[in-house]
Structure 1
Amino acid sequence: MTLKYDVLIIGGGVVGCAVARELSRRRLRIILLEKSSDICAGQSRANTAIVHGGYDAEPGTLKAKYNVAGNTMFGRVCSELEVPYRRNGSLVVSFSESDDPKLGGLLARGEKNGVSGLSIIGAEEIRRREPHLSKAASKALLVESGGIVCPYGLTIAYAENAARNGVTFIRNAAVTGIKKWRDGWHISATAGDFTADAVVNCAGVHSDEINNMVSEEKFYITPRRGEYYIVDKKYTGYFNSAIFQLPTKMGKGILVAPTVDGTLLIGPTAEDIDEREDTRTTRFGLDKVLAGASISWEDIPTRAFITSFAGVRAHCDRDDFIIGEAPDAELFFNAGGVESPGLTSAPAIGCYLAELIAERLSAADNPCFDPTRRAIPSFREMTNVERARAIAANPDYAKVVCRCENVTEAEIRQAIRRPVGARTTDGVKLRVRAGMGRCQAGFCTPRTIGILCEELGLDPLEAAKSSGASRLLSHYLFEKEAKPHA
């Protein structure tokens, strides 16, 4: 049986989930298909977590337009969805007097883009703000509107709010074909067949493949891998702002930045690759991260690295976002080539596409729409009084599963039970940080698997890290037959 919807969204990254949430303001039947086992499985999960000011994008581009517009929306959106966000500012630093004039060019570009709070500061002010920054820093562009956010937290919050407002989410649903028939768009996916009046392509590194199935206005994506290190919370507060070096044609360069969770992030590299899902870290890439970051942070404590990771971003051959209705494919809408500053731009792209689609479909307002989403109460952020109250209301708050991050059984169960909830250990990690601490899930994994099995009715041998192909357990050591929920 083919299921019929008003709008079908392809891709469960931050842009797809933002579009879903904004469309749920209208009376529409909306479905989102995600090819992976969870939302936020691609570049929305693995990026620099920066809310960019908008000084870098070429004036007149969609990158500039949506970056600046999205930046101004973050305070409201993150307040409504209870997502960690901090406007801590950014510094673009020159480490040579010969490069100082380039900062003036970035300042002029930012002002042309409509970015406020830009100024150039000297070495003395740099040192006052960032005492651990390299002594070679001579001048910097201060970007007061820069910020940091939890990218997967934002994506998940968008999805939960959209689901609460009626959007259907289907995971493990890779799109295999799209055709336009008289009654709308027919979409074939690994999860079944669907029909929709409108389709929204938010497929990230695969957005060109989706567009090129239906439109003669082709574009092409080059996967660009970026590798990172994460520094332990022991260095919380070591840097206050996001520290950028002067950008190049390959991106914004190697940065050092605090995260909203108290760690420090250094990276990324920028390497064009052939495989769109190749998120391996490499010795060459991580050495490049370390060498580049050492320009900003002279004495990087390498023994404090707790993990490394890589993300793949969607670099488009047009070197800009592709946003809007395809000119030769009625009611097929693209959010293609959304690389940096895609995270910052997501709220604005979501609003624009939702309003455009609602207008094209003559959709009425949804009187039941609720813009708010409550986050899972975090045990590690509670006072002792609040902890006592939480335990009294739910004794599972007294059972600490992840010791590094102080994550309790109550939080893990809520992460699984929520709309668009966790189905894997990585899904739990993204929602409540179990496994993100210093030991990197060395102690908490067995209990997390046990809770997943209890909540979802899984056999332990079915438990996965991130997808069906990443089983955590292969067989029973002491039992000839499997025992569910063991």
Structure 2
Amino acid sequence: MYDVIVIGAGVTGSAVARELSRYDISTCVLEKCEDVCEGTSKANSAIVHAGFDAAEGTLMAKLNVRGNEMMDELSRDLDIPFKRNGSMVVCIHKEALDGLKELYDRGIKNGVKGLKILSREEALKMEPNLSENVQGALYAPTGGIICPFELNIAMAENAFENGVDFKFNTEVKDIKKGEDDLWHLQTNSGEYTARYVVNAAGVYADMIHNMVSADKIKITPRRGDYCLLDKQVGGHVSHTIFPQPTNLGKGVLVSPTVHGNLIVGPTAIDIDDKEGTNTTAEGIDDLISKAGNHIRNLPIRNVITSFAGLRAHEEHHDFIIGEIADAPCFIDCAGIESPGLSASPAIGEMVGNILKEKMNLKEKENFKATRKGIVRTEGLSVAQMNDLIKKNPAYGNIICRCEMITEGEILDAIHRPLGAKSLDGVKRRTRAGMGRCQAGFCSPRTMEIINRELGIPYEKITKSGGESVIVPTRTKEGSGNSATSLEGTRGEVTGA
């Protein structure tokens, strides 16, 4: 029995959970996967949009701008990387220059600060690798880049540390309002009850909504393919570069990432499968072709991985946030597609305010707004590394050579609040496996650590929960647990 149950531990659900953790109530997050950040939140552009694209007066526009404004303080409080690198919408057809003025006017009405229309010369001076066909650009200095995994995980960890329960591998099957005036949620792991429910189920938000309301909604999964390029070409552009938008979205962007890679994407393909995150040759070819229209000499041969994500598109193309008219005490956060990542802190704030008023909530005296992230050894000086290794020798043992991730960082990822239990869980918290070899070398060593620290048998260690086991069966029994050992060179750092 809880005061509030949040369905979904993506960036929206975690933002709501963190906001509710300010108040003296019992809150629980139910997540059908084995970890936070397993759905739409794990596969997107990693962009904090300025807010000029959404139509004036929509929740998308209002919450995008507010979420953008909140990111500086939030990133400091939660100890996550965030950079305002600025964004540019590039026009390559002279007859379409009026479209930049329309975006500029919309942005001004939405409250976006610092917008400027650049001439061809100004745009090329800022970004020399823009297409020679560039005619002008809309520049938004408040645009930014962030790590979506770290934002999602940090908000969830902070909520957990402030008393919110998280139940993983718990899928909601049915919801009914009982005679006791409580919501009864039937799951694959038993029944949960709550006074209020918040639906933050991403592409499944329509299924959850339609369990309780006669006014049905439909979420269409909109697949977006991406390519991630190696860090050695991460400086090909310094701003986030957009084409002029269409009715299918903001188009194929090219942007640096907050960790130094270059990202290209997404496409926009409506599908029926809510789990359809497979990439296609057609999708990848399409995004490469479109990105090349706006960027000169795009170093696409430096791709280290491709992936696809799903946007939760609702036909009215606006966020659906608020109490359902025919289901009192049930709050929707549905249709949260782009700019959902940018808007997530503001969505949490909005839902928190709705429930604060309805439930007459009182803030805790001991709410902790800050959270300390995993120690990042990358960028530390030799002296700092040596001090760290003296305190904990595990920081002298490199596990992921591509990203230079140490055993100490992986141990922190496993044992911190809501710690990692799978290879992807470790990857999203530390970047071990995200580099050039895409976990080809570090996976066995990471598995050894998971086995040793959590006691999970090798045959049950997964890539991302469920049935995604890495080692289906043993082929040889030896005297030890593994043919390889973590015993490696540990000592002081002697060079930069």
Please say whether Structure 1 and Structure 2 have the same fold, judged by a TM-score greater than 0.5.
Answer: yes
Give the partner amino acid of 1:208.
D
User: Which aligned pairs between 1:394-433 and structure 2 lie closer than 5 A?
Assistant: 394-433=392-431
Name the counterpart of 1:353.
Answer: 351
From 40, 47, 54, the equivalent of 2:44 is: 47
Equivalenced residue count is 483
Give the partner amino acid of 1:232.
D
CA shift for structure 1 position 183: 4.1
Name the counterpart of 2:279.
Answer: 281
> Partner of 1:320: helix, strand, or coil?
coil
Name the CA distance, whole Å, in 1 between partners of 2:33 and 2:315: 25
User: Does structure 1 residue 335 correspond to structure 2 residue 307?
Assistant: no
Name the CA distance, whole Å, in 1 between partners of 2:207 and 2:458: 36
From 56, 59, 76, the equivalent of 2:56 is: 59
Name the counterpart of 2:148.
Answer: 151
User: Which aligned pairs between 1:113-132 and structure 2 lie closer than 5 A?
Assistant: 113-132=110-129
The TM-score, its normalising length taken from structure 2, stands at: 0.95
User: Does structure 1 residue 28 correspond to structure 2 residue 25?
Assistant: yes
Give the partner amino acid of 1:78.
S
Name the CA distance, whole Å, in 2 between partners of 1:483 and 1:404: 26
User: Which aligned pairs between 1:48-127 and structure 2 lie closer than 5 A?
Assistant: 48-127=45-124
CA shift for structure 1 position 298: 2.7
Query: Contact 2:175–2:211 (CA<8 Å) still a contact in 1?
Result: yes
> Partner of 1:25: helix, strand, or coil?
coil
CA shift for structure 1 position 447: 0.5
From 189, 192, 214, the equivalent of 2:190 is: 192
Name the CA distance, whole Å, in 2 between partners of 1:191 and 1:82: 34
CA shift for structure 1 position 363: 2.0
Query: Contact 1:68–1:114 (CA<8 Å) still a contact in 2?
Result: yes
Distance 1:485 1:188, change over 3 A: farther
Name the CA distance, whole Å, in 2 between partners of 1:144 and 1:303: 30
Name the CA distance, whole Å, in 2 between partners of 1:247 and 1:483: 54
Name the counterpart of 1:435.
Answer: 433
Give the partner amino acid of 1:45.
K
Name the CA distance, whole Å, in 1 between partners of 2:303 and 2:340: 27
Query: Contact 1:460–1:484 (CA<8 Å) still a contact in 2?
Result: no
User: Does structure 1 residue 386 correspond to structure 2 residue 384?
Assistant: yes
Query: Contact 1:199–1:333 (CA<8 Å) still a contact in 2?
Result: yes
Distance 1:440 1:462, change over 3 A: same
CA shift for structure 1 position 476: 1.4
| Percent identity between the two aligned chains | 47
Segments of structure 1 that go 5 or more residues without pairing to the other structure are none
Name the CA distance, whole Å, in 1 between partners of 2:447 and 2:222: 33
Name the CA distance, whole Å, in 1 between partners of 2:300 and 2:63: 37
Name the CA distance, whole Å, in 2 between partners of 1:411 and 1:458: 19
Name the CA distance, whole Å, in 2 between partners of 1:247 and 1:56: 8
From 2, 19, 28, the equivalent of 1:5 is: 2
Give the partner amino acid of 1:157.
A
From 162, 173, 185, the equivalent of 1:165 is: 162
User: Which aligned pairs between 1:287-306 and structure 2 lie closer than 5 A?
Assistant: 287-306=285-304
Query: Contact 1:89–1:242 (CA<8 Å) still a contact in 2?
Result: yes
Divergent runs of 4+, >3 A: 480-486
CA shift for structure 1 position 393: 0.7
Name the CA distance, whole Å, in 2 between partners of 1:107 and 1:183: 49
The TM-score, its normalising length taken from structure 1, stands at: 0.97
CA shift for structure 1 position 277: 0.7
Name the counterpart of 2:371.
Answer: 373
Give the partner amino acid of 2:242.
F
User: Does structure 1 residue 140 correspond to structure 2 residue 137?
Assistant: yes
Name the CA distance, whole Å, in 2 between partners of 1:302 and 1:146: 24
Name the CA distance, whole Å, in 2 between partners of 1:343 and 1:395: 37
Name the counterpart of 1:207.
Answer: 205
From 450, 454, 462, the equivalent of 1:452 is: 450
> Partner of 2:232: helix, strand, or coil?
helix
Give the partner amino acid of 1:237.
G
Give the partner amino acid of 2:317.
D
CA shift for structure 1 position 484: 9.3
CA shift for structure 1 position 302: 2.7
From 255, 258, 269, the equivalent of 2:256 is: 258
Segments of structure 2 that go 5 or more residues without pairing to the other structure are 485-496
